[in-house]
Amino acid sequence: MTIMNRFAAWYLKFNALSFFARRAIIFAASVALWWFAAMLQSMHFNNDLCVVMLLAGTAGVLWSSELWRLWKVFAAIVVICLAIMR
């Protein structure tokens, strides 16, 4: 059995899960990645690698929780905060 056959089997099993279960797994994996990158950053590990991992973890959390759909609300809050700070 080749490695591609194993990945295909895992992919089919993952897609057989319900929508909520898939999103929960992606959310948990993204939080774990973000936490691991934050630990590496606190130990002053390679900064470039940690930034990429932190951004990937954040993007995964935002995508899996559907918070990216609220980008207009977040943009308005940022604009209001910047106006207040000015």
Quote the pTM value. 0.71
Residue 65 lies in a domain: yes
Which structural domain, as residue segments, surrounds residue 57? 18-85
Residue 7 lies in a domain: no
Residue 5 lies in a domain: no
pLDDT interval class at 22 (50, 70, 90): very high
Residue 13 lies in a domain: no
Domain count, the chain: 1
30 contacts 54 by C-beta, under 8 angstroms: no
48 contacts 78 by C-beta, under 8 angstroms: no
Residue 1 lies in a domain: no
Lowest average pLDDT, out of 3-7, 31-35, 72-76, goes to 72-76
Residue 8 lies in a domain: no
Tokens for 45, please give them: 């590990």
Per cent of the chain over pLDDT 70 is 99
Residue 10 lies in a domain: no
pLDDT interval class at 37 (50, 70, 90): very high
**What is the C-alpha separation between 60 and 55, in angstroms, rounded?**
8
